[in-house]
Structure 1
Amino acid sequence: MINTALRESAFPDAVITEAIRWTEEKGPLDDAQAMRTAASRSADAHTRITARALQLGERIGLQSELVRARQWGPWVLLGLVALVVVAGLGLAGNVVGGGERHINVIVALVSLLGIHLLALLLWLAGLWLPLGSFNTSSLGWIWLSLTARVAGGKRGQAPVLLRAATGLLSRARLLPWAFGLVSHGIWALSFAVVLAALLFALAFRSYTLSWETTILDPDFFVRAVHALGWAPAQLGFPVPDAATILSAAPGAAGQRTWALWLTGCIAVYGLLPRVALVLLSAVVWHRRKAALQPDWSDPYYRKLMARFAALAPPAIVDADPGGAPGTAPASLAPSELQDALFVIGFELPADLAWPPAGLPAAQVQRIDGSAPARRALLDQLALARPRAVLLVCHAASSPDRGTERFLREVLAHCGECRLWPAHAAEEAADAGLAQRWVDWLQGTGLQRVAVTHRLEDALKQLGTAP
């Protein structure tokens, strides 16, 4: 979700993240485990916040409801399309289905284009004015609301998911375009069906097309017909001349001109704008979809970032001037531990065989001592809370402050820790080297870490000998 190119799951992840934010407005959720798990998965603050939200969302059922919404969405859209198409056919039937087969072209034009033009003006108002009521009157909003209601029922999480989704779309300036993509598509399909029905009726039945008025000047209709016919004329549709318009009973050629003028007006002022807006909405969506992210500068997210930062131990950036040896950190309580064993190879030379033979089922790790490797391992220990840890070091190496810091951090995440100074195959076991490690542990206040000379003894003392 942080990448510039939006992943397939990025928008659903962002919706869940925002939905958790709105949910926690009523009170914080119990997120201790979610915080630790998210902190261990990534160093990126935004990714951690998203991972935490996904875990909490899974617990309260947000993901399952979102999946149901995505499954029901196409079916609800299909039903809405069918409803609009039937309504369009009804309008076309009212125009050409009269028993007298007489069509008032102006009334027909207003009937077929009136609601469309009103809806289009409302959509344009929602595009340029920050008024949500214009967006909620579109077919796109109706589709989204119905989908949320069907997927969530009366007691589901639909309101918070709907609020999160529309909030993300608004922030990315995509709300009218997203709703427009659905709304314009439905309208375009409706006009296509209406035009097909109208052309079929005009092609195989005889109609009389004319206009009527009681108070308007006939010249007004001449000017109006010519003005409305200018755009269709650019596409080849004929426009009735003044004599045809003013004639009380135009001939067959005049009737054909009237019919094609009416069809051209519906195509140019109804179908083509909707098709063009569908394409424009799709282009805008493609260009702006990368902005579908939560507002990370929001105080809620900044507080979460601070909490994640507090989970990391402070980094030592200067040398310790020396002083009295510290005490070993307290170990975890037995109730917090899990029955697991970690065997960790720390800064071992390349020629030392790894892993050692004879290990029982355990989490076997080997790290080079770099800060990222230590941090990743400590995150695993924080999640696993093992009963025992066996730290394997190179016997001939000199223990230093980095080893001390790492041991103290390991002790804070386990129940018991032992150290085995291992040696390479070509090196002879040296009791003096092992004693140096014992003396070093005593001098640093880490007496809790017992040193064993043989792997078998260490495993036996840890209660894990095979």
Structure 2
Amino acid sequence: MTELNTLWLTETIRLREEHAGPLEDLEANRLARSVGGDLPSRIQRRALWLAERDGLVTALKHWLQGARLALIVMAVLAVISGAGLAFAAMGDGLHPVNVFWALGSLLGLNLILLLSWALGLAFAGEHGASLGRLWLWLSEKLARDAKAAQLAPALLLLLQRQKLNRWAIGVLVNGLWLLAMISALVILLTLMATRRYGFVWETTILSADTFIAVTQALGALPALLGFSVPTEQMIRASGDAALSIESARQAWAAWLVGVLLVYGILPRLLLALFCLWRWKSGQTALRLDLNLPGYAQLRERLMPTSERLGISDAAPEQLHRVESGVSEQQSDGALLVAIELDDDRPWPPQLPKNVSNAGILDSRESRHKLLEQLTRFPPARLAIACDPRRSPDRGSLALIAELARSASATRVWLLQAPPGEALDAERLGDWHVALQQLELPFADCAPMNWLETGHD
């Protein structure tokens, strides 16, 4: 995952907590503290864990796929628009082409919007945002993920702090116009290669000298690149009728192509590259704003001045699939732990020498202490003993899932009922269903051999 995507997800989590309240983050905070580092890195580690748990990482992938599709759609529209400009400028080939009408069709709207974008960039920095909003809207629609709706506002806020949004919009706007101008040039060359065009200029109120001066001025820069410019005699003669001389046709065609290249394509290309350079260099300066309330209040939880005990967060609304983040190389040993056993049940059972007893988790303090220990020293094998006479409530299942994520391999031991007492079949079935949803193996016999050797 890129640095930008990490910051993006972190900002998304902050906005989500700002609008909907704090998330259940006890395990995320503990893992962030165990990784270490400075406060920004811990905040990002916490946010990545929460984003993965709540499906935002998947939503980001869907959003990026939608963004690419939206960009393809807009690029296709730009190509079609550029081709339309060329066809409008050259006509059907049955009538002479008015050179300045053709020039206005090819460059008029482009130059007006280019000047408008440059002025907006200089004074406000937000011009062209409508095209950016269209792209964001299309990206969200094509992503087809309800959670992706939280991503666009977070991205905008993140970029606005370094004013990177103007350069991102600049790349988009100038890139699409560059594509349109290239499309227009290709169609223009194709039409000139397959049809015979005559060129004229027409006016009612302007003199021939004005057209001569404008034509030669516009052709000065293209002439430096090797494009020919019509002579004064050709320009004057073209005011009466389209010249049938082949050299005149070629001179006007080369002049029109040169002007389109120099005043239409090159400015957009240079601006797109400039905006891309500013965008790339600006990304390196992106940082979390630790003064924001959403981040400032995490300081004590992620970099505490004193260790705090206890679990104060409510149980999550839904259980999440258990995926251990611990490898066999990182873990060692075997551990047996029990959850909320009654006093009438003798505990612990006789254990092999290489199996440790973590006791009975019956308080917030004991749970928190064990979870902190497992974060630092994850076991290779963990057996969790549960009393199936109790209902599998959300809190117990969430704790089982959290413990399982701290070990390489986990099994759940559903204890037998004491002598003279029978287990409730329906409640036992609830345990089976819940553990199957967590994808944890379970049995009603002691997994001592597995704890000792790793084999059944």
* TM norm structure 1: 0.64
Q: Deviations over 1:338-390 (max 9, x none)?
A: x9459xxxxxxxxxxxxxx9312789xxxxxxxxxxxx99844479999xxxx
2:228–2:254 Cα contact (<8 Å) kept: yes
Partner of 2:45: 51
Partner of 1:21: 14
SS at match of 1:297: coil
> How has the CA–CA distance of structure 1 residues 385 and 106 changed in structure 2, closer, same or farther, with 3 Å as cutoff?
same
Q: Distance in 2 between matches of 1:331 and 1:253?
A: 87
Partner of 1:148: 140
Q: Distance in 1 between matches of 2:103 and 2:356?
A: 80
> How has the CA–CA distance of structure 1 residues 233 and 331 changed in structure 2, closer, same or farther, with 3 Å as cutoff?
closer
Partner of 1:449: none
Q: Which amino acid aligns with 2:304?
A: A
Q: Deviations over 1:383-432 (max 9, x none)?
A: 9999xxxxxxxxxxxxxxxxxxxxxxxxxxx9xxxxxxxxxxxxxxxxxx
Partner of 1:272: 266
Q: Deviations over 1:67-105 (max 9, x none)?
A: 102223322222221111112112212222425232111
Q: Aligned pair count?
A: 335
Q: Which amino acid aligns with 1:180?
A: G
Structure showing greater Rg: 1
Q: Which amino acid aligns with 1:23?
A: R
Partner of 2:246: 252
Q: Which amino acid aligns with 2:354?
A: L
Cα drift, residue 169 of structure 1: 2.1
> How has the CA–CA distance of structure 1 residues 99 and 286 changed in structure 2, closer, same or farther, with 3 Å as cutoff?
closer
Cα drift, residue 186 of structure 1: 2.6
The one of 89, 100, 114 aligned to 2:94: 100
Partner of 1:176: 166
Partner of 2:33: 39
Q: 1:206-355 alignment to 2 at 5 Å?
A: 206-247=196-237, 248-249=240-241, 250=243, 251-310=245-304, 312-313=306-307, 340-341=335-336
Q: 1:43-192 alignment to 2 at 5 Å?
A: 43-132=37-126, 134-138=127-131, 140-152=132-144, 156-192=146-182
Q: Distance in 1 between matches of 2:41 and 2:189?
A: 56
> How has the CA–CA distance of structure 1 residues 330 and 49 changed in structure 2, closer, same or farther, with 3 Å as cutoff?
closer
> How has the CA–CA distance of structure 1 residues 465 and 226 changed in structure 2, closer, same or farther, with 3 Å as cutoff?
closer
2:66–2:141 Cα contact (<8 Å) kept: no
* TM norm structure 2: 0.65
Q: 1:314-463 alignment to 2 at 5 Å?
A: 340-341=335-336, 358-360=353-355, 379-381=372-374
Cα drift, residue 311 of structure 1: 6.7
SS at match of 2:298: helix
Q: Distance in 2 between matches of 1:264 and 1:46?
A: 52
Uncovered stretches (5+) of structure 1, i.e. residues with no partner: 1-7, 315-328, 343-356, 364-375, 387-413, 415-463
1:36–1:383 Cα contact (<8 Å) kept: no
SS at match of 1:214: coil
Q: Distance in 1 between matches of 2:75 and 2:33?
A: 46
Q: Which amino acid aligns with 1:244?
A: M
Q: Distance in 2 between matches of 1:17 and 1:331?
A: 24
Cα drift, residue 237 of structure 1: 1.2
Partner of 2:347: none
Q: Deviations over 1:164-205 (max 9, x none)?
A: 112222223322222222332332232222212211211232
Q: Distance in 2 between matches of 1:67 and 1:330?
A: 36
SS at match of 1:291: coil
Q: Distance in 2 between matches of 1:135 and 1:117?
A: 14
> How has the CA–CA distance of structure 1 residues 57 and 124 changed in structure 2, closer, same or farther, with 3 Å as cutoff?
same
> How has the CA–CA distance of structure 1 residues 100 and 290 changed in structure 2, closer, same or farther, with 3 Å as cutoff?
same
> How has the CA–CA distance of structure 1 residues 115 and 362 changed in structure 2, closer, same or farther, with 3 Å as cutoff?
farther
Q: Distance in 2 between matches of 1:80 and 1:268?
A: 24
> How has the CA–CA distance of structure 1 residues 30 and 165 changed in structure 2, closer, same or farther, with 3 Å as cutoff?
closer
Cα drift, residue 106 of structure 1: 1.0
Q: Deviations over 1:106-158 (max 9, x none)?
A: 111111112222332233234323353x13134x55333311222146xx234
Cα drift, residue 289 of structure 1: 1.5
> How has the CA–CA distance of structure 1 residues 101 and 27 changed in structure 2, closer, same or farther, with 3 Å as cutoff?
same
> How has the CA–CA distance of structure 1 residues 360 and 255 changed in structure 2, closer, same or farther, with 3 Å as cutoff?
same
Partner of 2:2: 9
> How has the CA–CA distance of structure 1 residues 295 and 305 changed in structure 2, closer, same or farther, with 3 Å as cutoff?
same
Cα drift, residue 207 of structure 1: 0.8
1:16–1:54 Cα contact (<8 Å) kept: yes
SS at match of 2:163: coil
Q: Deviations over 1:276-323 (max 9, x none)?
A: 223223322332211233222323312221332337439xxxxxxxxx
1:180–1:281 Cα contact (<8 Å) kept: yes
Q: Deviations over 1:243-265 (max 9, x none)?
A: 22222233332222111111101
Q: CA RMSD in A?
A: 3.5
Q: Distance in 2 between matches of 1:231 and 1:465?
A: 84
Q: Distance in 2 between matches of 1:331 and 1:274?
A: 58
> How has the CA–CA distance of structure 1 residues 225 and 99 changed in structure 2, closer, same or farther, with 3 Å as cutoff?
closer
1:40–1:380 Cα contact (<8 Å) kept: no
1:141–1:179 Cα contact (<8 Å) kept: no
> How has the CA–CA distance of structure 1 residues 377 and 184 changed in structure 2, closer, same or farther, with 3 Å as cutoff?
farther
Q: Distance in 2 between matches of 1:61 and 1:235?
A: 55
1:39–1:379 Cα contact (<8 Å) kept: no
Q: Distance in 2 between matches of 1:242 and 1:377?
A: 92
